[in-house]
Amino acid sequence: MWDEETSKDVLEIILQEEIRKVVSVNKEQHLDSDQVHKGIRLDVYIRDDKNTIYNVEMQAKNKYNIPKRSRHYQGTIDTRLLPAGEINYNKLNNSYIIFICLFDLFGRKRYCYTFEERCIEDLSLKLDDGTRKIFLNTKGENEEEVPQELVEFLKLVENTNTDQDELKSEKVKRVHRRVKTVKDSKEVEARYMKMLVHEKEIAMEAREEGLAVGETKRSITIIRKKLNKGYDAATTADMLEQEPSYIEDIYNLLQNNPEYTDLQIAEIVLKNSKDFN
């Protein structure tokens, strides 16, 4: 992504729109705030010849903060786009915040989730404020609903050792060649090996997390059944030999979020446990 032509290809694959020219690509762009407020470090900050801004982030692990993190990134970027004293807000650049995730952030099995501001009372009415947030998921399953080119790209992100002959999109092939060039470069070899070690650590941690989520999900399923049968928290805690406070917390989550699946409740329970610890 630090290469302008590759950045252009990747953006066109994601947006399915032609970008005439990428003017600048800044890697690990720091946007510092004042001494009181939090600044940000962007993975890739791109500007095209129409002054549209693209922030592209790679996210290997779900830290359960990406929606609000994207909001913070958007706001911090915007504060740098208008000079002091400018009163014409229409001069604000159009901007995209893009997260390429190795997991399904929203659990709907989609390859792509796109968000923009709309009127709640009339969803056909757009605010048209020039912003869009896109969250990609390499583990999507709705291939028939998205461009095949995007599916190919996300599979390449998931597995950079994909055989070139398996690819159909010329843009994805160019990205693949760029990946291979970077991998073969002596200059980046040490960094790449360090990244592989980091990916292995993430994979092991993800496996451990997956086991914990699965076990917690099974417990939530049982607890939900007890709740639906009318058992109070204390009785359920006694039956399952669990701490009453733990069952009470899960009861509250189930009652306050009836639309949530057992998996979503399990993820919240584990997150709350980590935050407490």
d(CA 188, CA 181): 10
Domain shared by 10 and 113, yes or no: yes
Edge-to-edge strand list for the sheet holding 95-101? 22-31, 40-48, 53-59, 95-101, 131-137, 112-115
- Opening angle at CA 177, ends 175 and 179, nearest 5: 70
CB within 8 A of 60, min separation 6: which ones? 102, 199, 202
- Averaging pLDDT over each range in 84-88, 143-147, 239-243, 253-257, which range is the top one? 143-147
Examine the domain organization and report whether 121 and 71 are in the same domain.
yes
Q: Tell me the per-residue pLDDT of 111-146, one tens digit each, with 9 for 90 and over.
A: 999 999 999 999 999 999 999 999 999 999 999 999
- Quick one: pLDDT at residue 79? 87
Asked whether residue 56 is domain-assigned, the answer is yes
pLDDT over 70 at 274, yes or no: no
Q: 14 and 87 share a domain? A: yes
pLDDT greater at residue 37 or residue 101:
101
Is residue 208 included in any domain, yes or no?
A: no
Number of domains in the chain: 2
The C-alpha atoms of residue 277 and residue 273 are separated, in whole angstroms, by: 6
pLDDT attached to residue 222: 92
Q: What is the pLDDT of residues 183-226, one digit of tens each?
A: 777 666 666 667 667 666 666 665 666 667 888 888 899 999 99
pLDDT digits (tens, 9 = 90+) for 69-95: 999 999 999 988 988 888 999 999 999
Q: Could you tell me the residue range of the domain that residue 49 belongs to?
A: 4-184
Whole-number Å distance between alpha carbons of 257 and 69: 23
Is 194 part of a structural domain of the chain?
no
Same domain, 67 and 146: yes
- Looking at the structure, do residues 158 and 224 belong to the same domain, yes or no? no
Q: What is residue 95's predicted lDDT score, i.e. its pLDDT? A: 96
User: Mind listing the pLDDT tens digit for each residue in 3-62?
Assistant: 899 999 999 999 999 999 999 888 766 676 554 556 677 889 999 999 999 999 999 889
Q: Are residues 61 and 178 in the same domain?
A: yes
Give the pLDDT score at 70. 96
Cut 0.95: pTM above it = no
The residues that bridge with 54 in the sheet, in sequence order, are 46, 96
Count other Cβ atoms within 10 Å, centred on residue 51: 13
Nearest alpha-carbon partner for 45 in 29, 32, 61: 29
Pick 257 or 42 by higher pLDDT.
Answer: 257
| Tokens of residue 134, six digits | 């896109």
Are 26 and 128 in a shared domain? Answer: yes
CA distance 232 to 266: 20
207 in any annotated domain:
no
Q: Over the range 190-221, which residues count as b (16 or more CB within 10 Å of their CB) and which as e? A: eeeeeeeeeeeeeeeebeeeeeebeebbebbe
Residues comprising the chain, all counted: 277
253 and 142 belong to one structural domain: no
